[in-house]
Amino acid sequence: MEYVVQFQINIFALSILLLLYIVVNVRVTVETFSRKLLLILILFSGAAIITEPLTWIFDAQQFFGAYFLEYLTNMMLVMFGPIIAGLMLSYVRYYVMKDIDVVRKHWYYMYPAVLTMVMLIVNMFYPVYFSVDKITNVYTVGDYYFVHYIILVIMYLYMVVIGLKQSDKVDRKITLLFMLFFIIPFGAMVAQWFYIEIMLSWNSIVLGILVVYIFVESPNGEKDFLTSIYNRSSYEKYVNQLLQKHKDFKIIFIDLDKFKQINDTHGHLAGDVVLKEFANAMKRVSNGNEMVARLGGDEFMMVIETGAGIKLIVKDIYKELKFTKNPLLEDLTFSYGAYTHPVDMTVDEIYASVDKEMYEFKNKNNCLNRRESDKCGKE
């Protein structure tokens, strides 16, 4: 009876994951790398929740193969920890950077999983993490099992540090949600470390995934809550539809220069005003004919289906900023990158391409500004 309540909790958590997996597959019309990572995370979390009660079921059983099953399920459960933590870290890194190459370059997020695999191989000869008695088939925690917790603690703390370092690239609310994504399972894991009978580590990850899906990944809302223009989800859906219909279009990706200094010097409220007024300037330039979206932080996109030129649009945005009568906007500059269909790319590849072009533009320091505005309208 001691595991009855835990079984019920695991079944409930597994039901949530199953529902999430179905909803993500049914409702999502744009296939992005972040959603692929989320689906993989859901699958691994579900596997961990299924495996955990199997370790209880096989413990101390005497049927043929019980020892092998008890040892195997406990090995799997140990491996799931760093793998899931690495997936969580990759998801947040990609959501912030929107660059598949960045995630691939940081494949060392899986180093802890490799280290854990090595430790489990050692465990077969010397009980580092756990042992299973070959006669009684009883599971026993090893003397160095705490090493496993230390690895996971370091990973979760690293996640928090990464989230804070990248906080200027996404909304503050999104940053807080990502902190919950890490802190919820971290807190449950620490509690389980000190109170072994509390087994909520895997279920807490489900709660974190649920929070991220509802508030970050869910496509329900079309508009950005701060600026009232379209959000990232709407932008991706719209561009994907254009790609499927083989329509000609252009994209301009804008990143505000030195926006972090505005927040640091004048406060986040002033920064929010700048974002709102910049979005309004883009809307006025688009005149309702182009899609304008905020991707997050100080990043904006405009999808152009008319014959308007990129540089002319940039020049018009600068003109609109002059009429805001806000000194912060009058002195504001921005860098941009552009994409022209029909170059064959996916939504994610388009973002990576314009993002790279924008940063090259920014780094060369020859971007469009008011002092050079007479050059902007020429194409």
Secondary structure (DSSP) of 229-293: SB-HHHHHHHHHHHHHTT---EEEEEEETTHHHHHHHH-HHHHHHHHHHHHHHHHHHHTTSSEEE
Predicted pLDDT at 106: 66
First to last CA, the chain: 76
H or E stretch including 357?
helix 347-364
Q: Is the pLDDT of residue 181 over 50?
A: yes
Cα 87 to the chain's mean position, in Å? 10
* Better pLDDT: 156 or 69: 69
Q: Which residues contact 368 (CB under 8 A, 6 or more apart)?
A: 311, 314, 315, 318, 333, 336, 375, 376
% of the chain with per-residue pLDDT over 90: 33
Same domain, 212 and 237: no
Averaged pLDDT for residues 351-360: 86
**Cα–Cα distance measured from residue 364 to residue 236, given in angstroms and rounded to the nearest whole number:** 29
Same domain, 211 and 238: no
Predicted pLDDT at 197: 67
Decide if 169 is inside a domain. yes
Predicted pLDDT at 23: 85
* Better pLDDT: 80 or 7: 80
Decide if 264 is inside a domain. yes
Can you state the angle between helices 201-212 and 66-97, rounded to 10 degrees?
Answer: 30
Same domain, 316 and 194: no
**Cα–Cα distance measured from residue 341 to residue 115, given in angstroms and rounded to the nearest whole number:** 45
Same domain, 284 and 346: yes
Same domain, 183 and 53: yes
Decide if 92 is inside a domain. yes
Same domain, 213 and 236: no
* Better pLDDT: 27 or 68: 68
Q: Is the pLDDT of residue 374 over 50?
A: no
Predicted pLDDT at 59: 94
Please write the tens of the pLDDT for every residue from 263-292.
889 998 899 999 999 999 999 998 777 889
Decide if 226 is inside a domain. no
Q: Are 226 and 294 in contact (CB under 8 A)?
A: yes
**Cα–Cα distance measured from residue 17 to residue 9, given in angstroms and rounded to the nearest whole number:** 12
Same domain, 206 and 118: yes
Same domain, 165 and 257: no
CATH code, domain carrying 299: 3.30.70.270
Decide if 184 is inside a domain. yes
Residue that has been written with the tokens 């500059």 in this structure? 333
DSSP category for residue 215 = I
Decide if 46 is inside a domain. yes
Q: Are 116 and 45 in contact (CB under 8 A)?
A: no
At 230, the pLDDT band (50, 70, 90 cuts) reads confident
Predicted pLDDT at 300: 94
Q: Per the structure, how many domains does the chain have?
A: 2
CA neighbor of 130 nearest in space, from 144, 114, 149? 144
Decide if 322 is inside a domain. yes
Query: Which SS3 state, helix, strand or coil, does residue 325 take?
Result: coil
Domain that holds residue 333: 232-375
Same domain, 163 and 71: yes
Question: 217, 243, 275: which is the final residue of a domain?
Answer: 217
Predicted pLDDT at 375: 47
Query: Which two structure tokens, joined as six digits, stand for 61?
Result: 């059983």
* Better pLDDT: 253 or 164: 253
DSSP E strands in the chain: the ranges are 130-132, 139-141, 250-256, 291-296, 299-304, 334-340
Decide if 223 is inside a domain. no
Averaged pLDDT for residues 68-85: 94
Predicted pLDDT at 155: 86
Predicted pLDDT at 58: 95
Same domain, 71 and 197: yes
Predicted pLDDT at 48: 95
Q: Which residues contact 274 (CB under 8 A, 6 or more apart)?
A: 256, 259, 262, 326, 328, 329, 332
Q: Is the pLDDT of residue 166 over 60?
A: yes
Mean pLDDT estimate for the chain: 83
Question: 190, 217, 244: which is the final residue of a domain?
Answer: 217
Same domain, 52 and 153: yes
Main-chain dihedrals φ then ψ at residue 140, nearest 5 degrees = -135, 135
Same domain, 190 and 285: no
